[in-house]
Amino acid sequence: MTSAQVDTERTPEEEGYERGLGSRQVQMIAIGGAIGVGLFLGAGANIAKAGPSLILMYALAGAIIFFIMRALGELLLYRPVSGSFAEYSREFLGPFFGYFTGWTYWLMWVVTGMAELTAAAIYVHYWFPAVPQWVTALVFLVVLFGVNLISVKVFGELEFWFSMVKVTALIGMIVIGLGVLTFGFSSAGDTAAVSNLWEFDGFFPKGIGSSLMTLQGVMFAYLAVELVGVTAGESENPEKTLPKAINTLPWRIALFYVGALTVILCVVKWTEFAPGVSPFVEAFAKIGIPAGAGIVNFVVLTAALSSCNSGMYSTGRMLRNLAANGEAPARFRKLSGTKAPAFGITVSVLFMGIGVILNYVVPEKAFGYVTSVATAAGIWTWLMILISHVLYRRAVVAGRLPASSFPAPGGSVCSYIAIAFLLFVTCLIAYDADARVCLYVMAGWAVALGIGWTVLKSRNPAVTERRDPPAEQPEQPQKVG
């Protein structure tokens, strides 16, 4: 396929991308997406705010994330396309919402990349305190940029091994923690007990209200689980790999979030954790395993780099989708010789470089600033997925669209529940004086996008008109799960 053909016929098979992500890689991308810096670093501050009740907050948010992913899964198997969130918003809510969602998802990953670079710099500071945070962040930015320019196969392979390190390490942490609880070995053995979950001022030591306020940070920890939707255009067999990746989400959340935090909070009492310090690093330091804390620090560094790597991947694809619809400069449509959207990746990386500047100017506040903005952008993306799903279900019931081979359980009911939950979290963000700044940023972002849409409409009115998706639907596979 020539570059001139790439975006005129946007069926899943003809987008110009290389279908270079195999089942093994998609599964690990999905698993790795559920294990990020929000858990490894952000959990420390949230434990200080909520104590053991943070376990319940992760479980509650995890159930909502599963509702979101099943809604997305139904849409993906109805029409698997790269840039899926923007495409579904464009189809079911109109061109403006596709434009707004595409650019907002791009923003989410740019600021998430900033957060991950910040976290990576903090982890390296553990070994090399004399090295400035901004230097480390810049080095990682350049290295991952090079990886993403090579090919999707290299991205997928790197992400596979990043995720393998995270998964193996987390399972190892859980096993060691259970060993400490069961056999009492290590310096933490005398104080490790399940009763640590309630003995120090109860399960809700700061009150239910304080626990609920951690939901905004908890939701940030789950950002990136929807990344499997972006891989749809480059997966070898999306009809098989995507449902499997989505259906395994509950056990991943139960094991890696709820399970890991439960074990850690049993081994070390919650009062010993502090903001800015990874609870996993702290726990291994308390256990006293030689080099244990250093090993865990390497693992959480891997988690941060993994998420930043995913951010570079997804931003380039989203910019290309926007350009394909006339909502971004046409140059973003071009693919490199390795079938990577190199120009889009380059521009995104330049914006991620703002994170390097933040690490230079305000290193102690950089992580908090960017995570709140990323969470707000992520909530918008999830809301668009859910609303698109509700409208799709209505169209199916009315007989206007074919049914998906991967229907969400309960139809639209779970989507309505998830929408209400996300609106509740948004209210919590508005109530929190520190996090509220992200809503101001999003308001400014909305104004900027509104101005951009007005300019776009004046220059090319056809772009802003509702268009039907490609008439040709992918062959419907047998019903899954």
Which residue segment(s) compose the domain that 295 sits in? Answer: 22-455
pLDDT at 480 over 50: no
Q: What is the per-residue pLDDT for 475?
A: 44
| pLDDT per residue as tens digits for the range 100-114 | 999 998 998 888 888
Find how far residue 365's CA is from the centre of its chain: 21
- Nearest to residue 429, comparing CAs of 351, 361, 387, 368? 368
pLDDT at 315 over 60: yes
Q: What is the per-residue pLDDT for 470?
A: 56
- Nearest to residue 367, comparing CAs of 358, 376, 375? 358
Residue 468 within any structural domain of the chain: no
Q: What is the per-residue pLDDT for 146?
A: 87
Q: What is the CA radius of gyration of the chain?
A: 22
Q: What is the per-residue pLDDT for 255?
A: 85
Q: What is the per-residue pLDDT for 221?
A: 81
Residue 4 within any structural domain of the chain: no
| pLDDT per residue as tens digits for the range 23-36 | 666 667 666 656 76
pLDDT at 119 over 90: no
pLDDT at 81 over 80: no
DSSP 366-410: HHHHHHHHHHHHHHHHHHHHHHHHHHHHHHHHTTSSPPPSSPPTT
Q: What is the per-residue pLDDT for 444?
A: 93
Residue 13 within any structural domain of the chain: no
Give the mean pLDDT of 146-153.
78
- Measure the CA–CA gap between 140 and 3, rounded to whole angstroms: 31
Band of the pLDDT at 232, cuts 50, 70, 90? low
| pLDDT per residue as tens digits for the range 423-463 | 999 999 898 887 788 899 899 999 999 999 999 989 888 87
Q: What is the per-residue pLDDT for 14?
A: 39
* Percentage of the chain modeled with pLDDT above 70: 84
pLDDT at 292 over 90: no
* Percentage of the chain modeled with pLDDT above 90: 27
Burial class (CB in 10 A: 0-12, 13-18, 19+), 160: buried
Q: What is the per-residue pLDDT for 110?
A: 87
Residue 3 within any structural domain of the chain: no
- Measure the CA–CA gap between 20 and 390, rounded to whole angstroms: 32
Q: What is the per-residue pLDDT for 290?
A: 66
Residue 2 within any structural domain of the chain: no
267 neighbors 287 (Cβ within 8 angstroms): yes
| CATH assignment of the domain containing 31 | 1.20.1740.10
- Residue 325 φ/ψ, nearest 5 degrees: -100, 10
- The pLDDT mean for the chain works out to 81
Q: What is the per-residue pLDDT for 337?
A: 76
Q: Strands (DSSP E) along 80-215, which ranges?
A: none
Residue 473 within any structural domain of the chain: no
Angle at 452 between CA 449 and CA 458, to 5 degrees: 145
Give the mean pLDDT of 119-145.
85
| pLDDT per residue as tens digits for the range 4-17 | 333 333 443 335 56
Q: What is the per-residue pLDDT for 157?
A: 80
Residue 69 within any structural domain of the chain: yes
| pLDDT per residue as tens digits for the range 176-219 | 889 888 887 777 767 788 999 998 899 999 999 999 999 988 88
How many independent structural domains does the chain possess?
1
| pLDDT per residue as tens digits for the range 329-379 | 889 888 877 777 889 999 999 988 887 777 677 666 666 667 778 888 989
Residues in the chain: 481
Band of the pLDDT at 162, cuts 50, 70, 90? confident
If one compares 314 and 84, the residue with the highest pLDDT of the two is: 314
Residue 16 within any structural domain of the chain: no
Predicted TM-score (pTM) of the model is 0.84
In this structure, of 70-79, 287-296, 464-473, the range with the lowest mean pLDDT score is: 464-473
Q: What is the per-residue pLDDT for 37?
A: 65
Q: What is the per-residue pLDDT for 83?
A: 61
The strand pairing partners of 58, in sequence order, are none
